[in-house]
C-alpha cells in the first residue's frame, strides 16, 4: 500500500532547514498545502520559495513554539489560510548541551525543555481541537534515539526526548477513538546544517558519528521525511503511539 492522503493541509514547525524543510517539501510533493513555521524568517521563507518553485502551495508563519500565544496564533493562521489541519509535524527542537549532568546549567535546562518539551506540548494542545472539530488527523513529533535510551553528556536533551515520547504515547491513547493518530520519529545522527556546523572543526568526530551506525553512514533528512509521511498516511492507519527509530541499525546492537 502506498502513501495515500485524504487530507489537504499540513503544518511543520522547525521547517526553515534540515529535517523540517525536507518534510515540508515532501508534503508539498504529495499535493498538500503546507504551513511552514520557524523562528528563522530567512530559512522559513526559503522553504516556501522552494515549495512554490515546484508548483506547491505554502505560507510562512514565524513562531516561537515556547510562547503559547504565538503557537495559538500559528494554528489560527493555519485555519485562516487553508481552512483545516490534517497533519502536523512538531519538529522544532534544539540540542545545545555537551557535558556531564552535574555540569549542566539552569539556562541549558530551561532552553532545552522549553523548546523540546513545552513546544511540542503547546503545539499539540492547539492542534488537537482543530482535528477533533473536523473528525480526525495525524500528528508526528520529533523525538530522538536519545529518547529511547541513554545519551551520556546530553542528559537534559535525552530527558527532553524521553518526555516527547511520553507526550506522544499519552496523546495517542487519549485520542485513539477520535480518529487522531499520534506518533514520533526517533532519528539517530542525521546530515543537517546543525550536524555540519558541530563537526566542521574536527572531521574525526564526523567519522565517529558515521561509525556508530551499523549501515556505516549518517542518515539523510529525506529519509526522516519519508518516515514522517508514512506515519501520517493512510498506510499507517493502524499505527499510533509508536516511536519509530530511524537509526541505521544503531539500536539493534
SS3 state of residue 34: strand
All cell numbers assigned to 209 = 558519528
> In Å, what is the CA distance from 77 to each residue of 10, 35, 96, 98, 211?
12, 9, 30, 37, 43
All cell numbers assigned to 162 = 524521553
Scan for cell 551499523, then name that residue: 214
Alpha helices in the chain (DSSP H): 18-29, 41-53, 68-82, 106-113, 119-134, 155-174, 193-199, 203-211, 221-232
SS3 state of residue 50: helix
- 147 secondary structure, DSSP code: G
Active-site residues: which are they? Answer: 157
Q: How are beta strands 58-62 and 87-90 bridged, if at all?
A: unpaired
Which are the contacts of 5, defined by CB distance < 8 A and separation ≥ 6? Answer: 30, 31, 32, 86, 87, 232, 233, 234
All cell numbers assigned to 158 = 535525552
Amino acid at each position: 500500500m502506498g502513501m495515500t492522503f485524504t487530507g489537504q493541509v499540513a503544518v511543520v514547525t522547525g521547517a526553515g532547514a534540515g529535517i523540517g524543510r525536507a518534510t515540508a517539501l515532501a508534503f508539498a510533493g504529495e499535493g498538500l498545502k503546507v504551513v511552514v513555521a520557524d523562528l528563522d524568517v530567512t530559512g522559513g521563507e526559503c522553504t516556501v520559495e522552494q515549495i512554490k518553485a515546484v508548483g506547491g502551495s505554502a505560507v510562512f508563519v514565524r513562531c516561537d513554539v515556547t510562547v503559547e500565544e504565538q503557537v495559538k496564533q500559528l494554528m489560527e493562521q493555519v485555519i485562516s489560510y487553508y481552512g483545516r489541519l490534517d497533519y502536523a509535524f512538531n519538529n522544532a527542537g534544539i540540542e545545545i548541551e555537551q557535558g556531564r549532568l552535574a555540569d549542566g546549567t539552569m539556562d541549558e535546562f530551561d532552553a532545552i525543555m522549553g523548546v523540546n518539551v513545552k513546544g511540542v506540548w503547546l503545539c499539540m494542545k492547539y492542534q488537537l481541537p482543530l482535528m477533533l472539530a473536523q473528525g480526525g488527523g495525524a500528528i508526528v513529533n520529533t523525538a530522538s534515539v536519545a529518547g529511547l535510551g541513554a545519551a551520556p553528556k546530553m542528559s537534559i536533551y535525552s530527558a527532553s526526548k524521553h518526555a516527547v515520547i511520553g507526550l506522544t504515547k499519552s496523546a495517542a491513547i487519549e485520542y485513539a477513538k477520535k480518529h487522531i493518530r499520534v506518533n514520533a520519529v526517533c532519528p539517530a545522527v542525521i546530515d543537517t546544517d546543525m550536524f555540519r556546523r558541530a563537526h566542521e572543526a574536527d572531521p574525526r568526530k564526523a567519522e565517529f558519528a558515521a561509525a556508530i551506525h551499523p549501515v556505516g553512514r549518517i542518515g539523510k533528512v529525506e529519509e526522516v521525511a519519508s518516515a514522517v509521511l508514512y506515519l501520517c498516511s493512510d498506510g499507517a492507519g493502524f499505527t499510533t503511539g509508536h516511536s519509530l527509530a530511524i537509526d541505521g541499525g544503531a539500536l539493534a546492537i
